[in-house]
Structure 1
Amino acid sequence: MYEKSILIIGAGPTGLTLAIDLARRGVNFRLLEAADTPFQGSRGKGIQPRTLEVFEDLGVIDQILAAGAPYPKFRIHLGPLSMRAGSLGSSKPSTERIPYPNLWMVRQSRTEEILRERLHQLGHEVEFSTALANLEQSDHSVHATLSNGETVHAEYLIGCDGGHSAVRKSLGLKLEGEAIDEEPSVVADVEIKNLDRRDWHIWPSLKGAAIGLCPLPNTQFFQLMAKAASIGDNIEQAVFKVTGHRIERIAWRSIYQHSVRMVNRYRVGRVFLAGDAAHVHPPSGGQGLNTGVQDAYNLGWKLAHVVNGGPASLLDTYESERLPIAAAVLGLTKHLHQTRSIKRGDATNQLALHYRTSALSSGHTLGDLSPGDRMPDRRIGNSRLFELMRGPQATELQLPDGTKILIRPDGYIASISQKESTDYAGMPIQQIR
């Protein structure tokens, strides 16, 4: 029995982000993971600029930056010849408005490890080897049966348990969409000696069965990517035949189908879906992990406020804000996969994603800012706005001309007006002049 709580199913990046956000707001929760041990692979290695801002707010940005590196340039190998091409990432300088302008590469297992360490600092742990067996819900609570036989009663349950989500299946929801490649691909973390780690190596094929080897920062591994059919059952033999380099060790591998799929609902009663449980993406554009983290970042403050007595209607905005973004991101990743372009620009950094049509957005525009937009960083005296905003509260920035910018706890603009706010949906506001 575990009353007055939130139950999070799945401890990947999405579940960990949600848990950290709830922990720093003093909300009672449990974070369960069906696997016996933490994930060990590199799968979602690209962290977008907006997610880096989220990680700053959660208190892990220094560790994330230390664990990663900018994306390397491609090196295309054609027989005895090779040439350098562009990069999936940019090399823009930081600005006052955008402190983290570039895509950052961190092995997913290391990102999760950093998030678990932060959760530990906040006094919480992941419960491994604990899966959801069954769930039922009433108007007032969710009743979950776990794989160990325990019955848990919680106020809300959040399914962050990936593409094969047990939570989603228990709700009778389906990932609707399509496969966008006829054959699956393989991804693996491999150790290869005497291969230059400054570049992302590509061996193209006239049949489209290219092999890619991307150096993973602060490890001895390369991430291998190829069509499963071209690799076959013997990865070592196939890689040596194409590249001339020998694999010393395979640390992790996975086979996946390129698909664009999502649910048509993010919420059923007191149960919510987030991350890959609600939408699955091809790796093109590095959107999957980032969209999941930002699902959790949108939901965390709303759950906390409602549990602490705020209006329950606030939770309705989770689906209305995040479902259209997932649909747009799926369209983008499908386009990038099909065109195979390495040009990304601002389309994938997620800084321009907004909630302008949300019921939580009101007021007028101010220059290039509109209610619902991400609030840019700026200098405030000897500090940065992002530093002053860090934490669970809403913030009101008062400008010299009398304009007030009310900023939600997740860093998006709630309103721009001349009226001073005393609270935000019953939530205290810190005022910055």
Structure 2
Amino acid sequence: MTDVLIVGAGPTGLTLACDLARRGIGVRIVDKSPEFPRSSRSKGPNPRSLEVLEDLGIVEAVLAAGSPPLPMRKYRDGVPVTQTDLYADSSPTPDAPYDRGRLIAQWRLEEILRDRLADYGVGVETGTEVVGLTDDGTSVTVGFADGSGTGARYVVGCDGAHSRVRKLLGVPFDGETDEEQVMVCGDVEITPGVLDRGVWHQWFDGDGAVMLCPVPGTRAGWWYQAGPERDVDGRPLAPSLDGFRRLFTRHTRLPAGHLTEATLLSTYRVNVRMADRYRVGRVFLAGDAAHVHAIAGGLGMNTGIQDAFNLGWKLAQVLRGRAATGLLDTYEEERLPVAAWTLDLASERLRDTLEAIRKPGGGLDTAISPSTTGLDRGYRWSSLARAGDACLRSGDRAPDAPCAEAATGAPTRLFHAFAGPHLTLLGFGAGAERALREATAAHGDAVRAFRVYGADAPEPGTAAAGPEALHDREGHAHTAYGIGGDTVVVIRPDNHVGLIADADDHHAVRRYLDALDGVREPDPMRGAGMVDGTRKG
């Protein structure tokens, strides 16, 4: 019997599998497809998802395999009318290292995630279709289409909008499908040199549209989206190579033969639907299995990745006996409202985009807004959040900040301190030392505690500097966390703020850690005589 069986090996399922595997949880991941898909589909991770991928240790591979978001060149009647670069005046900030997403084919992102999962000795089991689920209250028996079966302590359905897991659970997927808003999509190849691969081309005319986005890492590959051809009754025709060519030449005014190949053709209809529950007993839903919405803003895959990052650490804590099973209820409590907000945001972005493209110069840039970065989503309403009235509050995304290792003076960042399967404590001021010592003594490797120095930083290399001490040279960490006095900040394993407390409120810190990592007897030898991570005496 495995700890967690994940159904569906798209970005959501793979993110969850990587997070669980690095936490030492036994995981299997299955997918009904006989082979891995090669569709470009999603345009790539947004800034918040890049932060998740950094924590998983793969962001450098993603950045190398993709490209920055491209300027959008808009045409009317075959003639360029404007070009928009949404990020021309944008740059990273100390608290947010990614000011823009990354353009990468979904199949390539999935390859990177599978390679990371393989580092933990786990592979995706293709051609494995789930057809039955039986939850007896202590485990789930799963039946496969070939007549075999398996047992798991928990199951997570990450199997897309047509989720078999959701259907087996009988969870409603309420919402609506807009039969009028239809696109045909696919991966196409275009004769090299015909179109500039440094821009996203968008032809919007009175009688339809074609959009062509170059796929990074390919010489001739493009992601194709278009308004469909229709029959005499106005019904959309099924996508085909010939149809794609006709639409291509109608809107671009280029010879149809330049579109040399079209694969993985599909018809997209705007679906806005959401499950009313994310958990039924020992079975969970995540990603498109739990919510689908308009593609405007590129939030679909990203919301799924962030679902997985919220659920992974909670499953691990419960499976390892470090938290009560009630912690699992906070997954739905936190993520379902985010999905509802996302559905509304995507629908709003779609309406605005459809209005914009009616005019020359309008394009898909209207679909992007500050909220589509994912950086402003938090869980202030959660039962895991604690009251506060500062600008940064419990439940919010934890900001980054450039720092230096106090021991060596080497540059580092708060995100480097957060990365990994642990809770993080930041202690600002000398008064925080007791809370840091008590936390590491009681919770061991489940917690990493850092003393964050300001102007009072010791000289690098001195004993006081300690291996787990940071120097906030420019005050960015103090500013991001609103530090005005001696303070302890608890960062959850999914890099959201858990608690901000006065350093002398040891009981609040202990109670919060006990809630997430169990009540334990302190190890009398761990942390004894230690200050800032360095043993004294």
| CA distance in 2 between partners of 1:255 and 1:186 (Å) | 4
**CA offsets per residue over residues 35-77 of structure 1, 9 Å max, x none?**
0111211111131100000000001100110111122122222
Q: Is 1:408 the counterpart of 2:492 in the alignment? A: yes
3-state SS, counterpart of residue 150 of structure 2: strand
The answer for the alignment partner of 1:218 in structure 2 is: 217
Say which of 377, 392, 402 aligns to 2:400: 377
Residues 1:43 and 2:44 aligned together: no
| Counterpart for residue 103 of structure 1 | 101
Tell me the residue number matched to 2:455: none
Aligned partners of 1:432 and 1:60: how far apart in 2? 30
Q: Deviations over 1:361-402 (max 9, x none)?
A: 114344x21110001001332321101111010011111222
| Aligned pair partner of 2:418 in 389, 412, 415 | 389
Question: Are 1:73 and 1:84, in contact at CA under 8 Å, matched by a contact in 2?
Answer: no
1: distance between equivalents of 2:190 and 2:58? 31
Q: Kindly report which structure 2 residues correspond to 1:154-193, keeping only aligned pairs within 5 A, or say none.
A: 154-193=152-191
SS in 2 for 1:133: strand
Matched, 1:425 2:515: yes
Which secondary structure state, in structure 1, belongs to the residue aligned with residue 373 of structure 2?
coil
CA distance in 2, matches of 1:379, 1:180: 46
Residues 1:214 and 1:120: Cα distance change in structure 2 (over 3 Å): same
In 2 relative to 1, CA 211–432 (structure 1 residues): closer, same or farther, beyond 3 Å? farther
Output the CA distance in 2 between the equivalents of 1:316 and 1:32: 25
Structure 1 residues 296-315: aligned runs within 5 Å: 296-309=308-321, 310-315=323-328
- Within the candidate set 347, 361, 379, 1:334 is matched to 347
* Contact 1:181 1:259 survives alignment (8 Å): no
**C-alpha displacement of 1:88:** 5.7
Please give the TM-score of this superposition, normalised by the length of structure 2: 0.77
Q: Deviations over 1:273-332 (max 9, x none)?
A: 000000012210000000000000000000011000121000000000000000000000
Q: Report the AA paired with residue 106 of structure 1.
A: I
Alignment of 1:64-143 (within 5 A): 64-79=62-77, 81-87=79-85, 92-143=90-141
**Is the 1:41–1:253 Cα contact (8 Å) retained in structure 2?**
no
Question: Within 2, Cα distance between the matches of 1:129 and 1:212?
Answer: 33
User: Equivalents in 2 of 1:88, 1:146: separation in Å?
Assistant: 47
Aligned-pair CA distance for 1:272: 0.4
Which segments of structure 1 move beyond 6 Å, counting only runs of 4 or more?
Answer: 428-433
Q: Is residue 396–residue 432 contact of structure 1 (8 Å, CA) maintained in 2? A: no
Q: Map 1:203-214; keep pairs closer than 5 Å.
A: 203-207=203-207, 209-214=208-213
Residues 1:235 and 2:244 aligned together: yes
Residue in 1 aligned with 2:16?
A: 18
The residue identity in structure 2 corresponding to 1:327 is A
Listed as ranges, the matches of 1:340-351 within 5 Å are 340=353, 342-343=365-366, 344-351=368-375
What secondary structure is seen at the aligned counterpart in 2 of 1:362? coil
Q: CA deviation at 1:9?
A: 0.3
Supply the AA of the counterpart residue of 2:288.
Answer: D
Q: 1:91 to 1:140 in 2, by over 3 A?
A: farther
Contact 1:214 1:224 in 2 (8 A): yes
CA gap of 1:296–1:426, structure 2 versus 1, over 3 A, is closer
The match for 2:270 is: 258
Residue-pair matches, total = 429
Is 1:288 matched up with 2:300?
Answer: yes
- What are the Cα deviations for residues 14-38 of structure 1, in whole angstroms up to 9, with x where unaligned? 0000000000000011100100111
Deviation at 1:333, TM superposition (A): 0.3
Superposed displacement of residue 424, structure 1: 4.4
**2:364 is the counterpart of 1:352:** no
Please tell me whether the aligned partners of residues 74 and 201 of structure 1 are also in contact (alpha carbons under 8 angstroms). Answer: yes
Q: What amino acid sits opposite 2:34 in the alignment?
A: D
Distance in 2, Cα, partners of 1:375 & 1:39: 34
Residue 185 of structure 1 and its aligned partner are, at CA, apart by 1.3
Q: Distance in 2 between matches of 1:80 and 1:250?
A: 22
SS in 1 for 2:39: coil
Residue of structure 2 aligned with 1:54, choices 48, 52, 55: 52
Of structures 1 and 2, the larger Rg is shown by 2
Secondary structure, aligned partner of 1:111: helix
| Contact 2:78–2:203 (8 Å) recurs in 1 | no
**Consecutive unaligned residues in structure 2, runs of 5 or more:** 231-235, 357-364, 405-410, 430-484, 521-526
- In structure 1, distance between residues paired with 2:516 and 2:341: 32
Distance 1:34 1:69 in 2: 31
SS in 1 for 2:134: strand
What TM-score results when the alignment is normalised by the length of structure 1? 0.94
* Structure 1 stretch displaced more, 336-345 or 214-223: 336-345
How has the CA–CA distance of structure 1 residues 99 and 62 changed in structure 2, closer, same or farther, with 3 Å as cutoff? same
Shift of 1:189: 1.2
C-alpha distance after superposition, 1:143-175 (max 9, x if no partner): 110122222111110000000100000011122
Q: Which moved more, 1:243-252 or 1:353-362?
A: 243-252
- Deviations 1:253-274 (Å, cap 9, x if unpaired)? 2212111111110011111000
User: CA 1:350–1:214 in 2, change beyond 3 Å: closer, same or farther?
Assistant: same
Q: Secondary structure of the residue that 1:228 maps to in structure 2? A: coil
Instruction: List per-residue Cα deviations over 1:171-226 (Å, max 9, x = no partner).
Output: 1112211124515211111111211112211221213x211111122212111111
CA contact (8 A) 2:90 2:99 kept: yes
Cα distance in 2 for residues equivalent to 1:113 and 1:21: 16
Task: Tell me which residue corresponds to 2:386.
Answer: 362
Partner secondary structure for residue 315 of structure 1: helix
CA distance in 1 between counterparts of 2:352 and 2:516 reads 47
- Counterpart-to-counterpart distance in 1, 2:244 and 2:251: 11
1:80 & 1:146 partners in 2: Cα distance?
Answer: 52
Q: Which has the higher contact order (CA 8 A, sep 6+)?
A: 1
Q: Measure, in 1, the Cα distance between the counterparts of 2:88 and 2:349.
A: 16
